[in-house]
Amino acid sequence: MPDTTELPTEAHLLALASLPQMGPARLSALVEAVSPAEAWHELCRGAVPGGGVRELLGAPGAAVVAAWARRASELDVGELWRHHLEAGVEVCGVSSPAYPEPFRGEEHPPPLVVLRGDRRVLDGPRVAVVGTRDCTRYGRDVAFELGRDLAAAGVRVVSGLALGIDGAAHTGALEARAAPPVAVVGSGLDVVYPRRNHSLWRAVADAGLLISEHPLGTSPAAWHFPARNRLIAALADIVVVVESHARGGALHTATEAAQRGRPVMAVPGSVRAHASEGTNRLFDEGAHVCLGAGDVLALLGLDTPARRRGEDPRPVPEPADARVLEQIGWEPVALEQLVLRTGLELGSLVLALDRLEAAGWVARRAGWFERVAHDGR
């Protein structure tokens, strides 16, 4: 086994975090029992330091420890450390000077975080804007506007870089070209997930900060995302849920925020919209109503910024098309439903929808139609 005594604590934390089935709870238990270097050497010889780790492992503990020992025998700690240095990321343990301050106050702070970008962007008000990946056009528009207007007011928009609401909020924050965005992800910082957000990842890293508690090269796994959500809640002064189904990660983030005494806000949605079912139920649990960035800023104790309210550049629909637009409302609707609502013949309705779509009033997605809000740009 190569001599690793000259390597920093963070190098051994990386090595430990690279072992299979090593989550933050197990890693915390290890480094609370002994130093990261001692924990590494113990695991290399197939031993487990500290009773707390054995309790966490439970019945399959022997198999997990054997897998750790096999992986440890193959891993070069020094090479792993050099790889991270050369990649330009910052690796922090709890005792590192660069460790994000908001995490220090956690009851169980993440033992390892990896950063790409400027960690100083955390010095300022932070609001998490979260929601479902399977969002409506209404939800996407609201998330974009919240991200844009909050960033314009100097607020750091925090989210998870997922598809749907998360991505829309970060896109809006970047559009403002003001306060930098912050993202917490569930994979290594070099493993973009989902792949469609590759450009957005790069833009957020260039303008703000990416955070992970996984070494480079770590693929996403289902259990990574609830763990990621707790970090989003830990960073946020307020959590805003834009759209969430009856079950979803955004509700988990809201629960984590409430457990920390952080305010939770929700954007009201239609009682008929599945994408707002979980969001609307948050009001029963005491969530604040969010109708726009002004509500969030008021709860933060900040002044509402002067918003850019230019006239809507879209051409005013003809009266007949305007009546169709009114029947679409603000939730996705199928063509068959619109035929019933409007009473129009199919051919006339399709032509009206084509005109509304060309003018930017309506968006079409997978056979459904949604009204498009004017974003004030």
Q: How confident is the model at residue 304 (pLDDT cuts 50, 70, 90)?
A: low
Distance, in Å, from the CA atom of 164 to the CA atom of 144, rounded to the nearest integer, reads 10
Write the single-letter amino acid at 42: E
Neighbouring CB atoms inside 10 A of 319's CB total 7
% the chain with pLDDT above 90: 71
3-state class (DSSP) for residue 362: strand
Distance, in Å, from the CA atom of 20 to the CA atom of 32, rounded to the nearest integer, reads 19
Crossing angle for the helix pair 224-235 and 249-259, to the nearest 10 degrees: 50
Q: For residue range 180-200, what is the model confidence (pLDDT) as tens digits? A: 999 999 999 999 999 999 999
The fold adopted by the segment(s) 122-300 is Rossmann fold (3.40.50)
> Do the Cβ atoms of 324 and 331 come closer than 8 Å?
no
Q: Whole-model pTM?
A: 0.80
Pick the CATH number of 319-371 from 3.50.50.60, 3.60.20.40, 1.10.10.10, 2.130.10.10: 1.10.10.10
Strand ranges (E), 307-367: 333-334, 362-365
Q: For residue range 322-367, what is the model confidence (pLDDT) as tens digits? A: 889 988 877 788 999 999 999 999 999 999 999 999 988 999 887 7
> Do the Cβ atoms of 254 and 152 come closer than 8 Å?
no
Crossing angle for the helix pair 36-44 and 9-17, to the nearest 10 degrees: 50
| Residue pointed to by tokens 């992986």 | 71
Q: In angstroms, how far is CA 27 from the centroid of its own chain?
A: 23
Neighbouring CB atoms inside 10 A of 63's CB total 11
Strand ranges (E), 154-298: 156-159, 182-184, 209-212, 238-241, 264-266, 288-289
- Paired with 112 in beta bridges are 93
pLDDT of residue 323: 87
Highest mean pLDDT among 201-210, 303-312, 316-325: 201-210
Q: Is 58 left (phi over 0), alpha (psi -120 to 50) or beta?
A: left
> Do the Cβ atoms of 341 and 109 come closer than 8 Å?
no
Which token pair is 207? 């303008």
Residues 186, 250, 334, 372: is their CA dihedral positive or negative?
A: negative
